[in-house]
Amino acid sequence: MSKRTYSKATKATIDELKSDQRAYRYEEDGNKYGLLILYRGETLFYQENDRALLCEIAARYAVINPETIAHWDDNTVIGQDERAVILEKIITLYKKAYKDDLKIY
């Protein structure tokens, strides 16, 4: 997988979203999480403590593309094992926030 990085504008948007009151906020196992559907339901903001990422979803159909969980906002690459853990957490939080079962495509 090629290393993808966020543009300065996207990084600034992520930084703003970290404190956005519209995001669903949860605290579990000593960690703080944030979740928010963006744009026209095509992007999901996910935050874990001080780190955050954007990934591709189709909110209308409640599906997520796990391959787009590629790196954190500090451009740290996310490996397959970490991606699986993040995906599981996103699916759990999505159910709490949006009352819908998120599926993988």
pLDDT of 66-105, one tens digit each?
Answer: 999 999 999 999 999 999 999 999 999 999 999 999 999 8
Q: Report percent pLDDT > 90 for the chain.
A: 93
Distances in Å between the alpha carbon of 20 and those of 16, 45, 61, 65, 78?
Answer: 6, 11, 25, 24, 24
**Rounded to an integer, what distance in angstroms lies between the CA atom of residue 16 and that of residue 81?**
28
Q: Are strands 31-38 and 43-48 parallel, antiparallel or unpaired?
A: antiparallel
pLDDT of residue 5: 82
pLDDT of residue 1: 41
pLDDT of residue 3: 57
Task: Classify the C-alpha dihedral 7-8-11-17 as positive or negative.
Answer: negative
Angle at 97 (CA atoms; ends 65, 35), nearest 5 degrees: 55
CA within 13 Å, CB half, 71:
13
